[in-house]
Amino acid sequence: MKNNGFVYVASKYEEFIQAARFSANSLRDYWPQANITLFTHEKWVNENDKILFNNIITKDVPDHKRAKLWALDKTPYNLTCYIDCDTYIIHEDIKNIFKQFDVKSDITITRARRYAASIESKFKGGELTDHCGLFIYNNESQTLNFMKQWWLLYCEQDEGKWNWDTDLYPEYLRQWDMWTYWWLQNKTEHKIKRSYFPKPDARWNFVYVYDDKELEGTDIVIMHQPVPRKK
Amino acid sequence: MKRTIKNPYWGNREKTQVICEFHYEDGPIQTAAITDTQEGNPDWKELFDIFTVKQIDDLTEKALAEAREEHEKRKQFEKDDIERMKVDALFSAKLEAFEIDLVKNSKNRELKSRIRKAKSIMEITAFTAALITLEYEK
């Protein structure tokens, strides 16, 4: 497989495959040669998808809201940019995204903004500081193991099999994969070396509620906004 | 049954009524409104044996501040909901525009980008129509 590429994961809700197409189409506009892998369900794949995505994986993809975590360690690339489906590319600097990866680390990620979080990200036991909607990671064994653990622990978390000290870490964290990531990075031997996108990192993952000042006068490369779910 | 009076605040501007909580020994809490009577209300007397007028003033101010904060929060939530609905509708319209083959398969990066960046449904409609027209003229 190619050296680097993007991974989209669309599962559980059909809105996500629609959003993944929207995002990948924008990626192709600005970088026609980009390698793009889609993990999704066979029943959702159409003929156009086979042109838009140069690799589609459907075998064993779980029908799960966090199938993303299942897919991460199955990346075909040496260097992978995982990108949420609810994004779109609006700048040609996307071609430079893999240059933002810090080779001294295993994962390069953007900072989460507390003011823009869906939940209170700061709690007695710590703070969720990394935005898990877009990141670049290598395929070293420790990194792929981390991704695997992320999926396994999230499943336990989601099924209520993993419980924690709710005085330090509130129960409302349960539904979030950012919490699982935080735990693995801060409390386990599975942790990997993390770096951040160079400042202004917000341009690489600009969540629609971010303040424009975060861009420090630069252009947004990747816009991030939640997919509206049909009732 | 034994009970204690807690969290009193004035129920009117004239300070002739106090709203408070009766905490009963076996657990129940009851909200009560107390006013004095010509005969002398023992609850009123008990209340002022425990609290001074200044303390009730302060607790009233605190209760009002909390109510104001709660009201502001509720207003903000409603505003956020409306904003979120608008953003959702806008994004849904963009997704729909890109479900059209002529739009999706177009090589006109400029107009496609304008549809993606559009800030209103009208902009989406206008740029989508412009793009389709150009595609037909090819």
What CATH number is given to the structural domain containing A106?
3.90.550.10
pLDDT at A1 (0 to 100): 44
Q: How far apart are CA A205 and CA A50, in angstroms?
A: 26
Residue B95 near chain A (CB below 8 Å): yes
CB A5 within 8 A of CB A80: yes
> Do both B84 and B69 map to the same domain?
no
Q: How far apart are CA A79 and CA A82, in angstroms?
A: 10
> Do both B17 and B32 map to the same domain?
yes
Global model pTM greater than 0.90: no
Is residue B71 predicted with pLDDT exceeding 90? no
Burial degree of A138 (CB within 10 A; 0-12, 13-18, 19+): buried
Last residue of some domain: B55, B75, B95? B75
Residue range of the domain that includes A10: 4-140+193-224
> Do both B101 and B116 map to the same domain?
yes
Chain B residues with CB-CB distance to A15 below 8 A:
95
DSSP state of A83: E
* In-domain check, residue A85: yes
> Do both B60 and B90 map to the same domain?
no
CB A94 within 8 A of CB A6: no
Query: Could you give the ipTM of this predicted complex?
Result: 0.78
Average pLDDT value for residue range B1-22: 90
pLDDT at A2 (0 to 100): 59
Please indicate whether, in this complex, the C-beta atoms of B116 and A30 are within 8 angstroms of each other. Answer: no
> Do both B90 and B71 map to the same domain?
no
pLDDT at A229 (0 to 100): 65
Chain A residues with CB-CB distance to B87 below 8 A:
208, 225
Is residue B81 predicted with pLDDT exceeding 90? no
Residue A13 near chain B (CB below 8 Å): no
* Stretch 203-222 of chain A: residues touching chain B, C-beta under 8 Å: 208
> Do both B122 and B84 map to the same domain?
yes
* In-domain check, residue A67: yes
Is residue B110 predicted with pLDDT exceeding 90? yes
Please indicate whether, in this complex, the C-beta atoms of A228 and B92 are within 8 angstroms of each other. Answer: yes
pLDDT at B73 (0 to 100): 79
Based on the structure, what is the number of domains in chain A?
Answer: 1
Last residue of some domain: B53, B75, B97? B75
* In-domain check, residue A41: yes
Please indicate whether, in this complex, the C-beta atoms of B94 and A22 are within 8 angstroms of each other. Answer: yes
pLDDT at A211 (0 to 100): 93
- Which residues are paired to A127 by β-bridges? A122
Based on the structure, what is the number of domains in chain B?
Answer: 2
Residues 6+ apart with CB under 8 A from A119: A172, A173, A176
Q: What is the pLDDT along chain A (231 residues), one digit of tens a residue?
A: 459 999 999 999 999 999 999 999 999 999 999 999 999 999 999 999 999 999 999 999 999 999 999 999 999 999 999 999 999 999 999 999 999 999 999 999 999 998 888 788 888 899 999 999 999 999 999 999 999 999 999 999 999 999 999 999 999 999 999 999 999 999 999 999 999 999 999 999 999 889 999 999 999 999 998 777 665
> Do both B46 and B91 map to the same domain?
no
* In-domain check, residue A175: no
- From B105, which residue of chain A is nearest by alpha-carbon distance? A25
> Do both B84 and B46 map to the same domain?
no
Of A26, A88, A225, the CB nearest to B87: A225
Of B89, B105, B116, the CB nearest to A88: B116
Please indicate whether, in this complex, the C-beta atoms of A29 and B112 are within 8 angstroms of each other. Answer: yes
- From B106, which residue of chain A is nearest by alpha-carbon distance? A29
pLDDT at A82 (0 to 100): 98
* In-domain check, residue A178: no
Residue range of the domain that includes B57: 3-75
> Which letter, b or e, does each residue of A144-169 get, where b requires 16 or more Cβ atoms within 10 Å of its Cβ?
bebbbbbbebbbebbeeeeebeeeeb
